[in-house]
Amino acid sequence: MTIDINPELYAQVPDAHGRFGVYGGKFVAETLMAALSELENLYNELKDDPVFLREFDLDLAHYVGRPSPLYEAARWSDMIGGARIFLKREDLNHTGAHKINNTIGQGLLAKYMGKKRVIAETGAGQHGVASATVAARLGLECHVFMGEEDVRRQALNVYRMKLLGAEVIPVSSGSKTLKDAMNEALRDWVTNVDDTFYIIGTVAGPHPYPMLVRDFQSVIGREARSQSLAMTGKLPDALVACVGGGSNAIGLFHPFLGDNDVAMYGVEAGGKGVETGEHAAVLSAGTPGVLHGNRTYLMQDDNGQIIEAHSISAGLDYPGVGPEHSWLKDIGRVNYVSATDTEALAAFHRVTRVEGIMPALETAHALAYAEKLAAEMTPDQHMIINLSGRGDKDILTVAEIDGIDLGAL
């Protein structure tokens, strides 16, 4: 497939209204509009400010540990027998995932705004941990909203957040997962808007969040671009990343969007199979609507009620997706595909055994699709997969699925 899109298009989104084409926007209650404007104005002042950018870069270097390596998974590539596969090692970041890139940035914004308290929603707990980490370092009070179901699935991360001094608030409304945690965080924000900064964990929510989270995460793609050139002398032929809300995918994709020869694949959670209805493949099987402050593709019924998503991985278990992804789908720049629970689990085991790298279950979806894609490519081609997070947090889930009794080992 050849892509012929004017590279200048990407610098034009979002527009002044926070729109990516028809997607995005500011669909929130009036009470939050002033806070969003304040954040938007501050960010517009700071995003090109050398002092702010230097502070952000220094934190990424010395606190997060950037740049993250680009690692060639040679043994796995050989086994598949197609393209050379490189892994962008976001799992090696402080706290073990890409999420920290964004919380460092938003934490700085909170500090510049003089806010004393931060709140966050979390699914798998990675964003909650990354928010609690930044809050601890900046001396801010931190409340993390997490669906009851996810609290159960991700007990280790819940305890990590508590150790970091955050209060984890289980959310028992609706489906008790990420979308309900986000509802509850928005309710908290509307109540405590004067002293509270809401650290949104993905490229969703009302404008300016999808833009600023994208900008903070784009360090992934900028590094990957120069690392690819240094290691192979050329740009990659393909990029692969998992998509829940889509922040790690946008982070990798965005600096390459204008390179029409670089193919891009966003891998959604196919759950038990897209045909079963129990999945989180929003872009593959959803329809446009409005949720959590933006217009985007959603999983919804004919009456506009949001349908529960399903995925083995708590971090992909979200019935919406970032609005920029919806736009990139519609203009045909990115291919959105899916991998099932079973395929992701198989890839989790394979990469752990073959490369000695244990990926997060979210990331395993990207790995599962990449295996198929690499096999169709040739050894003179190479792809970069965003290894967005490490799998330690998922060990109990994997053991449970595999029927392993840890006490009996």
Partner 1 sequence: MSRLGPVFQRLRDEGRRAVIPYLVAGDPNEGLTVPLMHSLVEAGADVIEVGVPFSDPMSEGPTIQKGHERALAGGTSLNSTLALIAEFRQTDLETPLILMGYANPLERKGYAAVADACAEAGIDGLITVDLPPEEVAVMNTELQRHSIDNIFLISPTTTEDRIITITEQASGFIYYVALKGVTGAGHLDTEAVEAHLAIIRQYTDLPVAVGFGIKDAQTAARVAVCADAVVVGSALVDEIAADFSEHQDDARAIAIGGSLISSIRKGVNLATSN
What positions carry a catalytic annotation? Answer: 99, 121, 388
Q: Which of 176, 214, 295, 390 binds partner 1 (CB under 8 A)?
A: 295
Q: Is 299 in the site for partner 1 (CB under 8 A)?
A: no
**Interacting span for partner 1 (CB under 8 A) from 123-131, 179-187, 228-236, 253-261:** 179-187
Q: Which of 111, 187, 222, 272 binds partner 1 (CB under 8 A)?
A: 187
Q: Is 42 in the site for partner 1 (CB under 8 A)?
A: no
Q: Is 310 in the site for partner 1 (CB under 8 A)?
A: no
DSSP for residue 166:
P
- Does residue 298 contact residue 272 with C-beta atoms inside 8 Å? no
Separation of alpha carbons 318 and 316, rounded Å = 6
Q: Is 274 in the site for partner 1 (CB under 8 A)?
A: no
Q: Which of 110, 241, 306, 321 binds partner 1 (CB under 8 A)?
A: 306
CB of 253 or CB of 297, closer to partner 1: 297
Classify residue 295 as exposed, middle or buried by CB count within 10 Å of its CB (0-12, 13-18, 19+).
buried
Q: Is 160 in the site for partner 1 (CB under 8 A)?
A: no
Sign for the pseudo-dihedral over CA of 30, 36, 38, 41: negative
- Strand partners for 207: none
Q: Is 192 in the site for partner 1 (CB under 8 A)?
A: yes
- Give me the least distance between CB of 24 and partner 1, in Å please: 10
Separation of alpha carbons 241 and 243, rounded Å = 6
Q: Is 405 in the site for partner 1 (CB under 8 A)?
A: no
Q: Is 399 in the site for partner 1 (CB under 8 A)?
A: no
Q: Is 173 in the site for partner 1 (CB under 8 A)?
A: yes
Q: Which of 126, 202, 300, 388 binds partner 1 (CB under 8 A)?
A: 300
**Interacting span for partner 1 (CB under 8 A) from 79-87, 97-105, 180-188, 366-374:** 180-188
- Strand partners for 88: 70, 386
CB of 37 or CB of 378, closer to partner 1: 37
Q: Which of 25, 123, 221, 389 binds partner 1 (CB under 8 A)?
A: 25
Comparing CA positions, the residue from 373, 123, 346, 385 lying closest to residue 242 is 385
Q: Is 33 in the site for partner 1 (CB under 8 A)?
A: yes
In 141-256, alpha helices (H)? 148-153, 155-163, 178-191, 209-217, 219-232, 247-253
Task: Show the tokens assigned to 235.
Answer: 């740009």
Q: Which of 8, 275, 302, 405 binds partner 1 (CB under 8 A)?
A: 302
Q: Give kind and range of the element (H or E) at residue 321.
A: none
CA distances from 23 to 31, 68, 74, 182, 352 (A): 22, 32, 40, 19, 38
Q: Which of 193, 274, 346, 354 binds partner 1 (CB under 8 A)?
A: 193
Binding residue count for partner 1, defined by CB under 8 A: 39
Q: Is 277 in the site for partner 1 (CB under 8 A)?
A: no
CA distances from 61 to 138, 150, 276, 390 (A): 17, 31, 44, 19
Question: Interhelix angle for 99-113 vs 209-217, to 10°?
Answer: 120
- Give me the least distance between CB of 35 and partner 1, in Å please: 7
- Give me the least distance between CB of 3 and partner 1, in Å please: 29
Separation of alpha carbons 205 and 318, rounded Å = 13
Give the footprint of partner 1 on this chain (CB under 8 A). 17, 25-35, 173-174, 179-180, 183, 186-187, 190-194, 287-293, 295, 298, 300, 302-306
